[in-house]
Amino acid sequence: MKIREITSGLQFPEGPIALADGSVVLVEIARGTLSRVTPDGRIHVMADLGGGPNGAAIGPDGAVYVCNNGGFEWHTEADGTLRPVLQAKNYSGGRIERVNLATGKAERLLDAVDGIGLRGPNDLVFDAHGGFYFTDLGKGRAADMDMGAVHYARTDGTAVNVARPLLTPNGVGLSPDGQTLYYAETAGARLWAYDITAPGQVRKDPWPSINGGRMLTASPGGMLQRFDSLAVDALGNVCVATLMHGGISIVSPDGALVSHVPLPDRMTTNICFGGKDRRTAYVTLSGSGKLIAIDDWPIPGLALAHEA
């Protein structure tokens, strides 16, 4: 695979969205912005959201929906790698925001589900029904932490809980037939699956499942590995951005096959597909602040419910 660097100087990029014109919309978590990177590598701030904009996706109305985690404190390692640590001192609360792609105008869509405030919304994926599943990672502090959840919301701001409490749910995606919901657990590098029975509803397995889900794989690279955001390819394989080991872990739908594409950043955080036939993988290398492209990815990416 040939890696092509599109740009550098981003402040912990995440949530990439490939647009038809070859540009990529993404968030810069440490900068608090939704930004657009043109094919020649120029960076344009589209919206200053504050807090910690994290995952992003295009909705049925053409707007960009953003998970905002409310903000982190940051630490720079000796080798220059930037990484998030605890809840920000100026934490502004978790929320889902909607941004007009043409004007950059942002509005808050929701900040609570079932009366419980969102703590650290992280990633989202739209389904064919116009709603979206999103993860709330929770929030960590020096002496305690908030557990996370998976929720389902509609573009009018109504939302229901799908599963809670969960340990650090991060990336989220849907199978090609829309019948399986996947989420990646950061802390244990585990990939979980639920069968969807109706929009926003899933079948849950009984004990000993710790969360009602089916575990597809766990720590394929060892206990120091962490899972971040994900994308699904056209054959249903789950491509999970992998922290510490740095790269993309590819897991088959039944969890039986796991492979790893190494990349030069311990903070490899997200992947999306675009370009001709969705054969270009765009990957955020967040620790070094780069957006890269990998052309001729072996399997095309899955077409999303609402293509940009």
Residues 101-154: tens digit of each pLDDT? 999 999 999 999 999 999 999 999 999 999 999 999 999 999 999 999 999 999
Given a cut of 70, is residue 221 above it in pLDDT? no
Contact 26, 14 (CB under 8 A): yes
pLDDT of residue 257: 87
- What number of residues does the chain have? 308
Pairwise CA distance, residues 194 & 201, whole Å: 9
Pairwise CA distance, residues 34 & 177, whole Å: 30
Of the candidates 30, 32, 48, 35, the one whose C-alpha atom is nearest the C-alpha of residue 7 is 35
Exposure of 82 by Cβ count < 10 A (0-12 exposed, 13-18 middle, 19+ buried)?
middle
Pairwise CA distance, residues 153 & 171, whole Å: 16
Q: Which of 162-166, 251-255, 256-260, 266-270 has the lowest mean pLDDT?
A: 256-260
Q: Which residue has the tokens 């909705």?
A: 59
Largest Cα separation within the chain, whole Å, is 52
Contact 179, 196 (CB under 8 A): yes
Pairwise CA distance, residues 239 & 231, whole Å: 5
Q: pTM of whole model > 0.75?
A: yes
Q: What is the mean pLDDT of residues 28-32?
A: 98
Contact 57, 41 (CB under 8 A): no
pLDDT of residue 268: 98
CA atoms within 13 A on the CB side of 307: 11
Burial 215-241 (b: 16+ CB within 10 A, else e): bbbeebbeeebbbbbbbbbeebbbbbb
Share of the chain above pLDDT 90, in %: 94
pLDDT of residue 2: 87
In sequence order, what are the beta bridge partners of 72? 87
Of the candidates 142, 147, 140, 178, the one whose C-alpha atom is nearest the C-alpha of residue 163 is 147
- Using 50, 70 and 90 to split pLDDT, how confident is the model at 1? confident
Cis status of the peptide bond prior to 253, with omega within 30 of 0: no
Pairwise CA distance, residues 252 & 262, whole Å: 18
Given a cut of 80, is residue 222 above it in pLDDT? no
- Using 50, 70 and 90 to split pLDDT, how confident is the model at 182? very high
Share of the chain above pLDDT 70, in %: 98
Given a cut of 70, is residue 282 above it in pLDDT? yes
Q: Which of 130-144, 163-177, 218-232 has the lowest mean pLDDT?
A: 218-232
Contact 283, 275 (CB under 8 A): no
Given a cut of 70, is residue 220 above it in pLDDT? no
Pairwise CA distance, residues 100 & 57, whole Å: 12
